[in-house]
Amino acid sequence: MGTKSPSPWILNGQKIAFTCPFCQIFEKNYTHPIDRRSGNFYVMDMADWVQVVAFTADNKLILVRQFRFGTEMLSLETPGGLIDEGENPVAAGLRELREETGYIAENAHLLTSIYPNPAMQKNRLYIVVAENCQKMVEQRLDPNEEITCYAVPFEECLDKIKSGEIHHAIAIGTLLIYQLFAKK
């Protein structure tokens, strides 16, 4: 690996290329500070996300299965979603858990945050751990959501990653990060 560090590029200007209810896509023009090459790059500006690693009182992991329009497939994953403006990540995680599953946690904490795709997104993904969850309310799904909930031993979800049943990269990252932190 080389010893010379890459240089941060200089932003010359930007304009909105596309807007939808969930994001704006900006066309940004950058110039390299040393060799002066330049180019247009597209960056997605969207709200931060939260994923919840939620455990029942008997220590089973809560997973959700839902249809994903990008892949046009059902996806098994951790509960989560967009963080509302002004909402803290733990509150957002507990809200998403309650809405998607009907489970309410006895306690929860922020594990960490990461950038899901820094090549073209600037938002953060917050990982929240929720413990001693109990099914207490009915799901409150968005109009286009249809979600089934499962509670499985954590080791079984790792097997589901290996087999490809869990194929959502953010869910996989969330579960593996949890496993990494849990070993400490």
Say how far apart CA 119 and CA 121 lie, in whole Å.
6
The Cα–Cα gap between 158 and 61 comes to: 11
CATH class given for the domain over 49-182 = alpha beta
- pLDDT of 15-31, one tens digit each? 999 999 889 999 999 99
Angle at 131 between CA 130 and CA 136, to 5 degrees: 90
Alpha carbon distance 145, 132 (integer Å): 25
Nearest of 136, 87, 128 to residue 111 by alpha carbon: 128
Instruction: Give per-residue pLDDT as tens, 70-103.
Output: 999 999 999 999 999 999 999 999 999 999 999 9
To the nearest 5 percent, what fractions of the chain are helix, strand and coil?
Answer: 20, 45, 35
pLDDT above 70 (res 159): yes
Q: Where are the domains of the chain?
A: 10-46, 49-182
Confidence of residue 2 (pLDDT cuts 50, 70, 90): low
For the stretch 37-67, pLDDT in tens is 999 999 999 999 999 999 999 999 999 999 9
Instruction: Say how far apart CA 70 and CA 72 lie, in whole Å.
Output: 6
pLDDT digit string, tens, across residues 115-147? 999 999 999 999 999 999 999 999 999 899 999
108 pLDDT higher than 80: yes
